[in-house]
Structure 1
Amino acid sequence: MKNPYQIKLKDNSIYSIGDPFILRYNGRYYLYPSGLYEEEGIRCFISNDLIHFEDKGFVVEDKILKCAYAPEVIYHDGNFYLCTSPLGNGHYLYKSDNPLGPFKRISENVNNMIDGSFFLDENFNLKFLRADHNGIALLDIENENHLINRKNILPAVSNGWTEGPSLFYRNGYYYITYCGNFLTSTSYRVKVASSKQNNQNYLVQNEPLLISTDKDFHSLGHNSVFLGPSLDDYYLAYHSLVNLENDGHFRYLNIDRLSFSNRHVSCNPCEIEQSNFIRPDFECFVDENNLLIKDDFYLSKDSTKQKFTIEYNLKGNNTLVFSYQNSNKYCSIELEDNLIKVYENNILLVSKKLSINFNNFHTLRLINDSKLEILIDNVPIISLKSVNKGRIGYKSLTGVSYTAFINEANGSLQTKETTYVPNIIECKSTNGNFKNDYLDEAYIVLKQNKKVNYKIQTKNRKIRLVYLLLKSTSKGKILLTCNKSKKIININPQTDEYEFINYYLDELMINTGILSIKLLEGNVSFKRIIIKDKIKNNFTQEEYHFTKPCLIQSFDFEFNSFTRNSLFGLILNASNYSSHSSNNEPKYMGYLIGFINNLLVIEHVQYGKTRIYDKPIDIKLHQKYNLKIYYYNSILKVYLNGEQIIQTTLNYDDVYGYGGFFINREADVQLTNYKEETK
């Protein structure tokens, strides 16, 4: 597979794929992109392997569907529901008994802005998410065609317009992905927040989940999240944008794997050829030839291991078998109308009535790790103690369809997969001794003279910078290796203001292969590895003057007058500059250390500002001052006229980037004598 995809129509022409939504149903994948301006309908493309997509034509045609924005589809207890907002002028709801349609309209315009998305809550109630001026809103769907009980569940955190929500559940957490600010901005990006509850208390990750402002790969966003063929991976489908000579644009589908370390999630956009998607250890569209007949059960020829994920797809009352070892030792699930019962060795463990009916088609997924979790149509319904390994199967094959298992669970497959760099490598992309911090993010504790290995892939072989998100109490010596390149590095952080800090290791020749870290002495723990390409060139855009990364920066300044919106300062660790008018100032990611009139500020910048620190200074007009900063391994020191006035720890994920300076148009100030000491 290779990003970006070229999705073709039946006439072999390439179709523009904007706002891609991928539905996984009965072992297959259904892609629904936004409609084109000249079309009055929504197309679908189907795939068995997420590599080859077949054009299935329009699944709905309706005169009101001219330029249908961001269609999404969900399966709910016998029906498929589709929502879309044509030209962004409110939503219409449609219904079908087949993912390929035809979908019939079941509502008039239910309004509610743009970018609607469906979700099933823990009671199988159909919910509706959509973009909101204040972030992301969640609503109830009443009688299939009315939206009620609006609740804002996530504040606007993209520093501007927020859109394209998607909500999914994984391993105890609900994740909302969303994007902003405008689709033609090079900094169009995806962010993510997580919670133990689906309708409140979301914690936003500091860094974007997905962003690239590169000339050839930018404007990444409006994603959907879906379970991969392996049953243990989740993937992000999103579009990238190419500007056309006539001022229009063309969008392409991209698919990348998500990596998790407990609660934390990352995604590394990859532009090079990757290996195909991993398949389950056992899978079939069930018939008698695929299974053994034993003890009145139809069983798989192979057994699961102790850790497993199973998927059953079926319609009708039945008994599902798993952990089968012999006629007296197995587990089963009885499905009858709206009742589910779970047995172990013929002893009833749990019985539960549901608001769905098993006479309709449903997907059951069993995840056996430290516990057994049972999901129906991606809704978690039962959690029990872990069970044994064994064969899987059915009492009856009537109504049974795609069935599969893999000997992995809750992302354990991630340790065997390759991470594309430069970017983030999650600590749980290897095997090791893991603990959790107060956020329930995992970190790895290195063992003496033991190394941890990470499989990496990169576009080219070059010297890159390597950082750790390091536990600040770590101290010792490690051996950092990538294939044949090696460095011995002392670990000695100088701050414990935060539990974890960004810590620079060294430059290293990075290429496709194995990146390893070995503890030689002391104690070292970390959450993730961050690999960065070195910056080579200076550049100037508008009021921004970007220079190579610096250890020390300074300039002289003199106020002519104080103005209401004055802002200027030194730029630190800047990346992803984007000049689009939809972006708030400053138009990059990183830090700004400077002045708002006589207030000295340290701002975290992400197309907008978040205050980290401020201090009033008795600044006089028409008097020259010198501002200097020193930054290394998360510690920032700020000097005014040679006197240190601030020391603090910067704890965001902007570990490396441009230096330089910024002065906005409202600042009536003279900047002179800019100096830098380059790393």
Structure 2
Amino acid sequence: MTKRRIRTKRILMGLGILCLLAIVIIMSFSGKRRGPMLNSTLGESYQNSLALEQEWPDYGIGDPYVMRYNGLYYLYCSTKDFRVGIKAWSSSDLIHWKYEGLVTDEPLTEGAYAPEVVYWNGFFYMYTSPAGKGHYVLRSESPIGPFTIQTGNLGLSIDGSVFIDDDGKWYFTHASDKGIIGHEMPDPYTMTAEKTLNAYLGHWTEGSMIIKRDGKYFITYTGNHVFSKGYRINYAVATDSPIGTYKVMENNPIVISTKQNFNGLGHSSSVIGPNLDAYYMFYHNLIGHSKEGPPVRMLNMDRIVFNGEKMGVLGDGTHFPQPVPRMPDFYDGVNKPLEKGLWDVRVKADETKWLSSKSTDKNRFTAEFNFRMNMENTREGEASFEIIFSYTDDNHFNSVRVDPVLRSISLLEMKDGKKNQIAIAELPQSMDFAKLHTIRVESDVRSTKIYFDQMNKLTVTDITAKSGKIGYAYRNVKPTLEFTAFSNEADGSSDFETAKPVPGSIEAVHYMAGKDQGFHVGHPVKGSVMREDDGVPIQSSEDGSNAVNMMGKGDWLAYRINVESDGIYGFDAMLKEDGNDNVVELQVDGKPQRFVLDDSQSEGNLWVKKHLGQIKLTQGEHILTVKLVKGKLNYRFLDIYRVTELPTEKLSNMFNQILPEDMYGKWVKHEEGYAVQTEGSDAKMYAGSDEWTDYRVEVDLKSTADSIEEAGLLFRVTNESEFPEQVRDSFMGYQLTFRNGRMILKKMNYDQDEVDSAPISFATGSIVHIAVDVNGATMKVYVNDSKQPALEWTDANAWMHGKIGIRSASPSWLFTNLSLVRR
């Protein structure tokens, strides 16, 4: 059995159940309903990190890759150094994993790095780079092997990954020190000329994978070194090609944690969840060094959500209980034949029809059909095989017909007893229909999409979601019907109901479903870019995501949240200012707090992150409601994070609070402060808490000699790390840099972006007093006793909390009197 942290929250009986499940109507000050109360619990949950049976001893699960095939998931991981073979596990729910043994024992697989497996037309192709010395391709007719070697050494570094596009073309990506490299593949064993993609983390970049959703290519990638606490996952999005023009999005990194007990998060794979709609990311975290030297790692899983071109991992990598993945609303054939008791099986003349015992929802659904076809005595026009959906009776249903002779699929509509062809698509001519193939149907109020073996072959607006049964209809063929399922979710709709981890971010458009349960709009609008039936004003935003523009007094949206621990939490919103003072009410389980959103910009119509306020939260699941009280609220997302209140008195001598583990590089302690030991080095030290928000940090800086090297005052720092083989700017936050008579404000995100600068004079041997006020998204820098800021800048997407610190690359810079006071 899988060793896991699984707990089931039992629903209390008797009077307790009434408390948990009652729908309580709370009245606001105006006497109107505020919003929904909590009416469910987290239910069965899991917690990262996950321990599996038969992991490599003193090595664990590193570089996890999860593939889905015929209703089951298969997990592969790197092989411990100097060991032969590749291990695999299987699961139907992503939680309970069964060890399947070694899927290959080829001697060449000694120390196999990052094996990945793709299924195509009856064969499973494995790509791995044993001991990091170039790639080989192995092949099998089963996901659990045996895999046998098919090629010589193809080279191409490490961490190879394959993506198959809708047209059946193959692509290969792999790691390099200049970013992820992409290749076209004319066949499963050949890679053409390389192309460097815009997927680079400033140093060694590895662990790439591409998925496609709504016509957009999302590539994830990791850097820089497996032994760094700052190992992290970024993503980029393209619309032209899997190896085309990628845009790096602003919400990177999407997975990072440098905490002592949870760090080194990276090398991910992404897979669609059991409910056929949600996506999950698997990655490892670092435990330490094994006795033999290689890293010891553990398996983790977190929920992915999407909003237009924006992709996010809930919680940025969680380490507290999360809801387990949901199963389909109807499913059969998981590792066994279809169970006739779940189907209405009709045999009439030469036609056989299977119809599910349950019906899909009328507004949206996703259905999946897995099958093999017996092609004996099959000739064009004599045989027929169709998958069925939205079936109400023999005269009203939709279907997809597979023509193995013409190598095509066609979408059909049976209406009032007349069957019409709506669309047709060609399939690759190499398709062997005796092998397992998959048809997937995604249908909602806007369109219906048909996928064949994960390739989107048809998208039509003539047919939209209708309630009905799913099934099969065939004549003159003897198919093998395998995993078949449907879920009443489509196009990411399950993102709306899932509990959002706190701390974390919540997309504005991911409010719960149901009028007066998940949203209330006094005057519904038409023409929203998504969720149009709700009447909530949703518009495309400049960053490629979608935003909500609430305009009616009393309108509200509700979100399900899952709070890590009791405490005070800060709430920020990325909103578009309109020059007015707007009023917003935040409710947690119906308890309200109001916040005035004063306009901080001299010019309106700017997107800027605003601090709404602070609220005390308790551990567990809650309903968070955002209600418009006055004016307008046009917002993209909420950021929620834990805060620690600073004392009212000034914190002097902050150097005395710095722990040895928070000092990086070679510092020399002087009687009055600190300087680095060696010219040209890069040393940093940090003080305080990630949970500090608004403050004034001060330091005295003395230049003892001329130097071309920099010094820096750091503030709002989080996720700091230090490792020789990674980028030097290894933290997130801000750095006020002093160099060559100027002070330069930089925004840091494991790289640096110079955002503003101003002149400053340092006379050798003199002391300059520097003070930085950080209040919300605005930073002001004061020099000596000046009452006017020498530099002022507002960050539209600000880091809103974090530590303070100093940085230096020369002994000629002496830091003294580091202090802090609450704003």
- C-alpha distance in 2, partners of 1:35/1:248? 11
* 2:326 equivalent in structure 1: 278
Distance 1:52 1:245 in 2: 26
8 Å CA contact retained: 2:125, 2:138: yes
8 Å CA contact 1:6, 1:15 repeated in 2: no
Structure 2 match to 1:239 = 284
Letter of the aligned partner of 1:401 in structure 2?
Answer: E
Whether the aligned pair in 2 keeps the contact of 1:573 and 1:657 (CA below 8 Å) is: yes
Where does residue 654 of structure 1 map in the other structure? 799
1:302 match: 358
Q: TM-score normalized by structure 1? A: 0.94
**Partner SS, residue 726 of structure 2:** coil
Q: 1:279, CA displacement in angstroms?
A: 1.1
- Structure 1 match to 2:307: 261
Structure 2 counterpart of 1:644: 789
Query: Which string of whole-angstrom CA distances, capped at 9 and with x for unpartnered residues, describes residues 247-283 of structure 1?
Result: 6542111111112222222212222333332111111
Among 457, 460, 463, the residue aligned to 1:384: 460
**Would the aligned equivalents of 1:229 and 1:277 in 2 still touch at CA under 8 Å?**
yes
Instruction: Read off the aligned partner of 1:521 and give its amino acid letter.
Output: K
- Secondary structure in 2 matching 1:147: coil
For residue 334 of structure 1, report the CA deviation from its aligned partner: 1.1
SS of residue in 2 equivalent to 1:231: coil
Deviation string, structure 1 residues 588-641 (Cα, Å, up to 9, x no partner): 111112222323212121233222233455655444433332222322233344
Report the counterpart of residue 479 of structure 2 in structure 1: 398
The DSSP-based 3-state class of the residue aligned with 2:125 is strand
Moved more, 240-249 or 179-188: 240-249
Deviation at 1:343, TM superposition (A): 1.6
2:143 pairs with one of 83, 94, 99: 99
Cα displacement (A) at 1:484: 6.4
Q: 1:475 to 1:27 in 2, by over 3 A?
A: farther
8 Å CA contact retained: 1:241, 1:250 = yes
CA displacement at 1:140 relative to structure 2: 2.2
Match of 1:669 in 2: 813
Matches within 5 A, 1:75-90: 75-90=119-134
Are residues 1:552 and 2:696 paired? yes
Deviation larger for 637-646 or 105-114 = 637-646
1:314 aligned onto 2:421? no
- Structure 2 residue aligned with 1:185, among 219, 228, 235? 228
1:50 is matched with 94
Q: Does 1:611 align with 2:754?
A: yes
Larger radius of gyration: 2
8 Å CA contact 1:106–1:144 kept in 2: the answer is no
Question: Quick one: which of 478, 503, 517 aligns to 2:584?
Answer: 478
CA 1:222 to 1:517, structure 2 compared with 1: closer, same or farther past 3 Å?
same
Distance 1:4 1:70 in 2: 19
For 1:437 and 1:667, the matched residues in 2 are separated by 48
* Stretch moving more, 421-430 or 61-70: 421-430
Cα distance, 1:190 vs structure 2 = 0.7
- CA distance in 1 between counterparts of 2:559 and 2:584 reads 15
More off after superposition, 570-579 vs 281-290: 281-290
For the residues of structure 2 that align with 1:44 and 1:201, how far apart are their CA atoms? 35
Worse-matched range after superposition: 162-171 or 196-205: 196-205
State the one-letter code of the partner of 1:332: S
Q: 1:205, 1:667 → 2: CA distance? A: 38
Query: What is the identity, as a one-letter code, of the residue corresponding to 2:230?
Result: S
Q: Name the aligned partner's letter for residue 341 of structure 1.
A: S
Cα distance, 1:22 vs. partner? 0.4
Please, which moves more after superposition, 619-628 or 318-327?
A: 619-628
Structure 2 residue matching 1:132: 3-state secondary structure: coil
Once the two structures are TM-superposed, the CA of residue 329 in structure 1 deviates from its matched residue by 2.3
* 1:453 match: secondary structure: strand
Instruction: Kindly state the Cα deviation for residue 358 of structure 1 after the two structures are TM-superposed.
Output: 5.6
Cα distance in 2, alignment partners of residues 405 and 245 from structure 1: 44
Query: Residue 66 of structure 2: which of 22, 28, 34 is its match?
Result: 22
TM-score (norm 2): 0.78
Q: Is the 8 A contact 1:470 1:527 kept in 2?
A: yes
Structure 1 residues 535 and 113: alpha-carbon distance in aligned structure 2, compared to 1, 3 A threshold:
farther
- Find the counterpart in structure 2 of residue 327 from structure 1: 394
Rate the CA distance shift 1:404–1:129 in 2: closer, same or farther, 3 A: same
Q: Distance in 2 between matches of 1:485 and 1:659?
A: 34
Specify whether residues 160 and 497 from structure 1 end up closer, same or farther in structure 2 by C-alpha distance, changes over 3 A only. Answer: farther
Secondary structure at 1:40 match in 2: coil
Superposed CA deviations along residues 573-597 of structure 1, whole A, max 9, x for unmatched, are 2101112222333331111122223
**C-alpha contact 1:560 1:621 (8 A) present in aligned 2:** yes
Report the secondary structure of 2:631's partner residue: strand
Unaligned runs of 5+ in 2: 1-45, 374-383, 513-518, 520-535, 647-656, 665-683
Q: Distance in 2 between matches of 1:71 and 1:163?
A: 13
Provide the C-alpha distance between the structure 2 equivalents of 1:653 and 1:374, rounded to a whole number of angstroms: 41
Are positions 1:357 and 2:439 aligned together? Answer: no
5+ long unaligned stretches in structure 1: none
Measured at CA, do residues 522 and 194 of structure 1 come closer, stay the same or move farther in structure 2, by a change above 3 Å?
same
Q: How many angstroms apart in 2 are the aligned matches of 1:555 and 1:63? A: 60
Gap change, CA 1:522 and 1:647, over 3 Å in 2: same
Choose from 155, 161, 179 the match for 2:204. Answer: 161
Q: 1:220 maps to what in 2?
A: 265
Paired amino acid for 2:390: S
Whether 1:458 and 2:563 are equivalent positions in the alignment is: yes
1:595 matches 2:738: yes
CA distance in 2 between counterparts of 1:498 and 1:66 reads 59
CA distance in 2, matches of 1:484, 1:3: 31
Shift of residue 113 of structure 1? Answer: 0.4
- Measured against aligned partners, the alpha-carbon deviations of 1:125-149 in whole angstroms (never above 9, x if no partner) come to 2221101222111112344322212
CA contact (8 A) 2:204 2:726 kept: no
Give me the CA root mean square deviation: 2.4
Residue matched to 2:672: none
Partner of 2:522: none
Aligned partner letter, 1:112? L
CA separation of 1:266 and 1:541: change in aligned 2, threshold 3 A: same
Contact 1:427 1:527 in 2 (8 A): yes
